[in-house]
Amino acid sequence: MQAHSSVSMALAGSGGAGVMTAGNMLLEAAAQAGYYGLMTRTSGPQIRGGEAAAMLRLSTFAGDGQDDAFQVLAAIDWQNVQRFAAELPLGPQSLVIGDPAQGEPPEVFRRSGARYAPVALKKLAAEVAGGWPNMVALGLLAALLGLPPAALEAAVRKSMKKGLEAGLAAARLGMAQAAALPQFALAAPPAAAPRWLITGNEAAGCGALRGGVRFVAAYPITPATELLEWLAPALGRVGGTLVQAEDELASINMALGASYGGVPALTATSGPGLSLMIESLGLGVAAEIPVVVVDVMRTGPSTGIATKSEQADLGTALYGLHGDAPHIVVAPNSIADCLAATEWAVGLAETLQVPAIVLSDQYFGQARAVVDAPGDAAPQRERLPVANGDNYRRYALTESGVSPMALPGARGTTYTADGLEHNEHGTPSSQASDHLAQMDKRARKLAQLDPGAAWASVEGDGDTALVTFGSCTGPAREALARNGNGVRLVSLRLLAPAQPERLKQALAGVKRVLVLEQNHSGQFLRYLRAEYELPGEVKSLRRPGPLPFRPEEIRAALGQWSRA
Amino acid sequence: MNALAEATLCAPKDFKSAIKPVWCPGCGDYSVLSAITKALAALNLRPENVAVVSGIGCSSRIPAYTACYGFHGVHGRALPVATGLKVARPDLTVLVASGDGDGYSIGGNHFLHACRRNVDLTYIVMDNHVYGMTKGQPSPTTEPGWSSKLAPGGTGLREFHPLVIALASGANFIARAYSGDPNGCAALLTEAVRHPGFSFVEVLSPCVTFRPEQREWKTLAHPAPVAPTDDPGRAARRLMTDDGFNIGVLYKGSRPPYTPTRGSAQTMEALECRFRL
Amino acid sequence: MPVPTLEDFMARAYGMELEAHERYSQFAEQLDTHNNREVAQMFGKLAKIEALHAKRILEEMGWPSMPALPPAYAWDTPEGPETAPQDAVHYLMQPYHALEIALRCEQQAQKFFEDIAAADVPPAVRAAALEMAGEEREHVQLVREWMKRVPPPPEGWDEDPDPPRMGE
């Protein structure tokens, strides 16, 4: 029997079926068994009772991209599941499992050539008092993967309080059905190592706390809300505070106020919220106040598709502020990296006294994955204190551009932070010389930043390069792993200030550049063209949300080109 | 006076910076600035322990004219800045300064929620019934018949009643002052800062340039005929029938001020434990 | 307004002069910022004069630089009788206007002391009040003389062809 290094499974069902619960338990079971895993979700627009699918990928290697197709699609029922067809690609090697009592699988799934295996989930569940079909399906899927029953049991015990015994019994029944079906056993798990099971939103929250954030202002917005909700009790435990704001205009200004008071501050939002915050981000730039905004990007424009991912806020994040307002933009390129990138952004904001935007996205934010445990927390980066308060000038023209920042409560260094252009003392000024001096200062602050190796992930070698950022990195990595021919991957983590020299070095010898991004107009391509020199021939592989890139389409795009 | 007292006791002039205000001579805001410095001195505060937060407008220029830590933010957003600052730094005394446009128009939503949230702040709105800085447009407190370029013949809209709105939204202290009585204003501000929770002081502060007729406020402003009440129902009736010129403390509530929730202390390691496999 | 002792009366008188001095100083600064140098200088002079009056009271009473005044003592009026009202100034005002303001202030001060002298107060207070009233009468005269030497404001003194400039 063939052992798989990666198996993708989806469990679908409508209201009350509990597919998310079962999916989470399957992920937990795989994690307990020592595998890597990833779960994303999709659902209809109903608040409850809508059709939904838990989409899992279990593997022997770390990665947070989707595979090209799902090996198994199991459904408790088929109500409206065809809606997800585009997100659930199947092939002739795939297996579709359905309850014959719920009717035939929709045509779109049958068209794929996948095999169909009826399993009477509901009838089986009824054999256990208080048994549910989703638990039967869970046991079945776990067994198809070849997961040790102990791992599944541990996962079920961890998750279920009510009806535990019934749940276990139903799962065991499901496991027993697997023998009759084609198997998708996972190969042996990788060597044991410290790992975490975490979502991108939680990771970002963690990174914020590690970075020293102790004040968060929150206005809920899909898909950032969980980040804020995780931080609410967590902050309280480490001596910080979260305040719920009345809107995003309030949340960014609350964060600025707290930061002005000396407490590292953060807020999280999505595209529509970021748009509202733009004016006040400019205030942070002009008054030189550190603040971090995590933008968990979703499909736009406007209200867009709130529950789906896209990489289309790049223009806003980089260029949205009125006036010339240099600031930091950082993009994590994996779910685990949401922690490191946010921590880094906090440090940059604090040391450079400037707003930093973290471009996460819905895919990262709401996906739950097994990741390699992050290293120990680095020492927190702090803002430049006032050494000598005599004749204090808040916006003194220093060589680095960074001026010592007085904190309220300190005697002799009072000043007024101002969005108005000002002189070195902070007094409003309309003088050309003051404006130029302060503009130069604020630009110099960032231009002198040396991000080191953190500026990008540069992997592989070859004269073809794939340049991307954010959640496209996962499938890109996998495409390169399969590609064979040398392709260099450059996944930018620091988007602003741009690092043209570093990219030039990273692309030395490259003759072809494929720019990969998840948006319609090619925002990343335009940014690269504006800020960098791209060598040789440049092609764009792009698509707006909501569908993620899959390794094969990237590999194919690269392959075609090399052959030409 | 012993050395300790000398170290803490500041005179009003210690709260004024060297920066000369650019307000028109005759502007009511000069009196408000003077009143603020008197109040801060009377409260035995030190300039470095006071923060003055403002938005945009003539009255919002005030932070730089004080010797305190100041924050001159963007239009309408002073209250959230002050909220974040006070919650993060409860040791500071935080004053918020605004005008009728900044505070009641673009800042309207934040006004509602600041009253509701009841963080220990003192909100001073210098109301001159006009947008002064942008050359004379009607504000939410302008009378319906006042003609301007932007609304010839008047807006025809009934004025906002900010004191009623403050009461309905949960402000813990509501007062009206008049810049023509700077000492009275100072006394009201002193009481407002002392009172815990969100204290709202609307200061009638005439604009000599765009509303010269507001000189007559001298004759219209009068002490409120009744003592402040702590009964929201009674206060509501009074404020709904208020003539806009009752000077004094009109409502003094006893809502406990906002306190952030704190869980039991944990290390980062303990927090991260729940993710570990 | 109760004036039970001479000390109390002189403290009020001192406060009155001090407040008047502070207000004239503020006006001087405001008018200077608004490029009305002539009137700024005039208010500067008036401020100095009031400072002298205040200093004299300290010397007479043998008080140190800052007498122990009660923290807030209310006038019957919003501000001291000799304090020019905050809204009395105009950025284009003429020197004559400044003197008109000073005249009113001195007249109010005079009436203030006369009222005290006529009220039921201890003899020492009455005597001091009468003396102060006399001094203020002299000041009124001095201002009137000063006004004769200053041209009256021309027609259209407050006309400014330029509209107000926009701040932010």
Angle (nearest 5°) at CA A158 between A152 and A162: 105
B271 with A237: Cβ contact below 8 A: yes
In whole angstroms, give the CA distance from residue A282 to residue A265.
16
Residue C129 lies in a domain: yes
Residue C156 lies in a domain: no
Average pLDDT of B82-101? 97
Residue A59, beta-bridge partner list: A6, A36
Residue C85 lies in a domain: yes
Residue B123, beta-bridge partner list: B96, B200
A215 with B88: Cβ contact below 8 A: yes
Q: Which two tokens stand for residue A96?
A: 């579709």
Residue A58, beta-bridge partner list: A7, A37
pLDDT category at A484 given cuts 50, 70, 90 is low
C-alpha distances in Å from residue A340, one per residue of A203, A204, A295, A337, A493: 8, 8, 15, 5, 11
Q: B148-199, pLDDT tens digit by residue?
A: 888 889 999 999 899 999 999 999 999 999 999 999 999 999 999 999 999 9
If you measure CA to CA, which chain C residue comes closest to B181? C78
Residues on chain B touching A209 (C-beta within 8 angstroms): 268, 271
A241 with B82: Cβ contact below 8 A: no
A234 with B112: Cβ contact below 8 A: no
Q: How far is A240 from chain B (nearest CA, A)?
A: 8
C86 with B183: Cβ contact below 8 A: no
Structural domains in chain A, CATH included, are: 6-180 (3.40.920.10), 196-372 (3.40.50.970), 453-563 (3.40.50.920)
Q: Which residue among B51, B70, B110 sits closest to A250, beta carbon to beta carbon?
A: B110
| Res B5: pLDDT | 45
Q: Which residue among C31, C79, C89 sits closest to B182, beta carbon to beta carbon?
A: C79
* CB distance A37 to A58 below 8 Å: yes
Residue C125 lies in a domain: yes
Q: A123-141, pLDDT tens digit by residue?
A: 999 999 999 999 999 999 9
Structural domains in chain B, CATH included, are: 11-275 (3.40.50.970)
B85 with A206: Cβ contact below 8 A: no
Q: How far is B24 from chain C (nearest CA, A)?
A: 7
Q: Which domain holds residue C118?
A: 6-65+77-148
User: What is the DSSP secondary-structure string of B240-276?
Assistant: HT--S-EEEEEEE--PPPP---------HHHHHGGGB
Neighbours of chain A (3+ CB pairs under 8 A): B
Among candidate residues A416, A289, A408, A253, the one with its CA nearest the CA of residue B70:
A416
Q: Which residue among C78, C79, C86 sits closest to B26, beta carbon to beta carbon?
A: C86
A249 with B110: Cβ contact below 8 A: yes
Residue C164 lies in a domain: no
B189 touches chain A (CB under 8 A): no
**What pTM was computed for the model?**
0.94
Taking the CB of residue C149, how many other CB atoms lie within 10 A of it? Answer: 8
Angle (nearest 5°) at CA A259 between A253 and A263: 135
Rg (CA), chain B: 20
If you measure CA to CA, which chain C residue comes closest to B216? C87
C-alpha distances in Å from residue C149, one per residue of A200, C24, C144: 82, 20, 9
Residues on chain B touching C88 (C-beta within 8 angstroms): 26
User: What is the DSSP secondary-structure string of A260-275?
Assistant: HTT--EEEEE-HHHHH
User: What is the DSSP secondary-structure string of A342-368?
Assistant: HHHHHHHHHHHTSEEEEEEEHHHHH-E
CATH code for position C48: 1.20.1260.10
pLDDT category at B3 given cuts 50, 70, 90 is very low
Q: How far is C100 from chain B (nearest CA, A)?
A: 16
Q: Which residue among B20, B42, B135 sits closest to C164, beta carbon to beta carbon?
A: B135
Q: Which residue among A241, A261, A410 sits closest to B260, beta carbon to beta carbon?
A: A241
What is the domain count for chain C? 1
Choose from B24, B205, B209 for mutation: most chain C CBs within 10 A. Answer: B24
Residues on chain C touching B133 (C-beta within 8 angstroms): 166-168
Average pLDDT, chain A: 96
Residues on chain B touching A194 (C-beta within 8 angstroms): 276-277
Residue C163 lies in a domain: no
The interface pTM score, or ipTM, of the predicted complex is: 0.93
B26 with C29: Cβ contact below 8 A: no
Q: Which residue among B85, B117, B270 sits closest to A257, beta carbon to beta carbon?
A: B85
C-alpha dihedral (C23, C25, C29, C32), degrees to nearest 10: 110
| Res B150: pLDDT | 85
Mode of pairing for the β-strands spanning A464-469 and A512-517: parallel
Q: How far is B205 from chain A (nearest CA, A)?
A: 23
Q: A288-319, pLDDT tens digit by residue?
A: 999 999 999 999 999 999 999 999 999 999 99
Q: A241-288, pLDDT tens digit by residue?
A: 999 999 999 999 999 999 999 999 999 999 999 999 999 999 999 999
A74: left (phi over 0), alpha (psi -120 to 50) or beta: beta
Q: Which residue among C36, C72, C86 sits closest to B28, beta carbon to beta carbon?
A: C86
Residues on chain C touching B186 (C-beta within 8 angstroms): 72
* CB distance B252 to B229 below 8 Å: yes
Higher pLDDT, C65 or A184: A184
Residues on chain B touching A280 (C-beta within 8 angstroms): 73-74, 77
Taking the CB of residue B149, how many other CB atoms lie within 10 A of it? Answer: 8
Q: Which two tokens stand for residue A562?
A: 């090399």
pLDDT along chain C (168 residues), means of 10: 79 91 96 96 96 92 70 70 94 96 96 93 93 95 95 92 78
Q: What share of chain C is helix, strand, coil (3-state, %, to 5)?
A: 65, 0, 35
Residue C116 lies in a domain: yes
In whole angstroms, give the CA distance from residue A91 to residue A534.
37
Interface of C with B (CB under 8 A): 26-27, 29-34, 36, 71-72, 74-75, 78-79, 85-91, 93, 163-164, 166-168
pLDDT category at A563 given cuts 50, 70, 90 is low
